[in-house]
Amino acid sequence: MHCLRAVDVDDRLVDEIWEKVSGVGSYYSIADGCTKDLFRSRLFQSNAVLQGEGLLLRLEAGEGCLEVHPIAFGPSSFRHAKEALQDIVELRDRLFATKPICCIIPDGMRGARRLAREAGMTRTGTVIRPLSGIPIPCTVFTWR
């Protein structure tokens, strides 16, 4: 991997990242955990967790795709978006070869949609995703 590294999920990582995201609210907290316990379980249940400069990625192998859940900490993540996606592609090729890579982003998260486009992902559709019981319109980005 060039700009991302696999990280072990442990309580130290959960505490470190939760401290950064717990006050963010809005789409992030209802998507990946409105409580620290739910956030912790999402990280521990992930198929892989990758970290890079200003970026933490949680990967879930779903039925139809390898879903990427990015957490960006500032603009530095945009500088390495293409390299980060290439690292994900290399990991996917080794562990989940038949799955396309997708990212489902709530429509209100303009920065996350821009990050997906910067990385080279293509908008392939829309979906309504229930996040904590709230129906949220989302855009699906895919890399094959």
Instruction: List pLDDT tens digits, range 13-29.
Output: 999 998 888 776 555 54
Predicted confidence at residue 25, as pLDDT, reads 57
The mean pLDDT of 23-43, rounded to a whole number, is 70
CA distance 131 to 35: 13
Predicted confidence at residue 87, as pLDDT, reads 94
Question: How far is the CA of 75 from the CAs of 55, 71, 113, in angstroms?
Answer: 10, 12, 13
Contact between 57 and 87 (Cβ < 8 Å): no
Instruction: List pLDDT tens digits, range 87-127.
Output: 999 999 999 888 999 999 888 888 888 889 989 999 999 99
pLDDT tops 80 at residue 36: yes
Query: pLDDT confidence of 39, banded at 50, 70, 90?
Result: confident
Domains of the chain: 5-143 (3.40.630.30)
Which of these ranges, 52-56, 73-77, 78-82, 98-102, has the smallest mean pLDDT?
Answer: 73-77
Smallest CA-to-CA distance from 126 within 137, 118, 136, 134 is with 137
Query: pLDDT confidence of 57, banded at 50, 70, 90?
Result: very high
24: Cβ–Cβ under 8 A, 6 or more apart, which residues? none
Predicted confidence at residue 77, as pLDDT, reads 80
pLDDT tops 60 at residue 45: yes
